[in-house]
Structure 1
């Protein structure tokens, strides 16, 4: 199937999952994960109506962003090193993967130079996996308060990556927990903090994520095909 056909199918699945949960499908946005894919694939998806794209690797992203012709919106969704933040400053509208204060402080420095505000999500490592980034649930409130104190950052919600399961039902408790944690943060009524976005769910489990409250689902393989070798 073409990228356009894949996109239509994914949107139908998202809408159906939202309706099963009694949600308006318009409250869920698809982030097309274009890592390792060429600019031409982004342009093709954009021609089919996709506007929001997520990238994981700074060097690849900055090169690709110059090559994409379509008017698209970029999110950065991968692990981000502080020394690479300046390369994406002003290019992305949302960073999904803020997991430590030192990273937030560097985002603050770079966006301050632009006299702009960067929207961010706090990444939570709910499963405590050593191979995954993210703050702990225990440290979440403290980190949100610290990040919220930075004038050029705005906390918009949370992100998580659950462990891999062959059965997407295995991921459901992790999605449910992120939704619960968002409620805990919201109850703190931290100035400038909104729990509007829950970034969770990928190609294998996005329907369960939508049913549990995802507002952003990050889908690459189901849209673009298998990942190409990252150079």
Structure 2
């Protein structure tokens, strides 16, 4: 199938209000343009300098999502244009994004990444660390970032029950925080979970944003 057909197929599976982020980190500008020409606007990258180069050669109304592990010293490359940062895994990173966003006079939406996978190679905070970050009085001082939800990556396994359990854990924290009294710059509205191999399970668990690369750009 073509990229256009792949997009149509995946979007037909998504419920109302679910955003498809086409993960374009391994795709050429021509492939991204093909998806754009099919009407798609949300694309995800995981390297700041690659993204900086790509965005200058592609349409300026693309909504770029940063989905990888963002090093603090790389935040400055993306803060003047990024649509959403998916994987904030520390207060220090959030503070750096705020500092750089202030220079661009922007308020950047961010998701807090929870470590739900069995693999140590994946980044993210545990439940108590996320709750402590949100409860930190210093968070309200960060006027150029807004925490708009949570993100997580399940274990890379064929065991669907395990993946289901991990997504459920993230969804439970999301709902718990959603019901809590939150600071002014925190609003639980986006739940980013699910990739090419497990997005259907993520959707069953209430994901509002799936990050799909291979299933979009495969021929």
Q: Return the alpha-carbon distance in structure 1 between the equivalents of residues 58 and 30 of structure 2.
A: 7
Instruction: Note if 1:107 corresponds to 2:107.
Output: no
Match of 1:229 in 2: none
SS in 2 for 1:194: strand
Cross-structure match for 2:211: 218
- What is the 5 A alignment of 1:184-203? 184-192=176-184, 193-203=186-196
1:5–1:169 Cα change, 3 Å? farther
Aligned ranges 1:19-30 → 2 under 5 Å = 25-30=15-20
Structure 2 stretches lacking a partner, 5+ long: none
Q: Which residue does the alignment assign to 2:61?
A: 71
CA distance in structure 2 between the partners assigned to 1:61 and 1:161 by the alignment: 21
CA contact (8 A) 1:148 1:154 kept: no
Note the alpha carbon deviations across 1:57-81, whole angstroms, 9 max, x for none.
1111111111113631111010000
Residue of structure 2 aligned with 1:98, choices 76, 88, 103: 88
Normalised by the length of structure 1, the TM-score is: 0.89
1:172 aligns to 2:164 (yes or no): yes
Matched-pair contact (CA < 8 Å) for 2:116–2:167: no
- Distance, in Å, in 2 between the alignment partners of 1:73 and 1:222 is 19
Cα-to-partner distance string for 1:116-162 (whole Å, 9 max, x where unaligned): 10100000002363211101112111112347421111110000001
Q: How large is the Cα RMSD of the aligned pairs?
A: 1.6
Cα deviation for residue 168 of structure 1 reads 3.6
1:88 aligned onto 2:78: yes
Q: Quick check: 1:148–1:155 contact (8 Å CA) kept in 2? A: no
Match of 2:122 among 109, 119, 132: 132
The aligned length equals: 216
In structure 2, how many angstroms separate the alpha carbons of the residues matched to 1:126 and 1:75? 21
Q: Find the aligned partners of 1:28 and 1:159 in 2 and give their Cα distance.
A: 14
TM-score, L = length of structure 2: 0.93
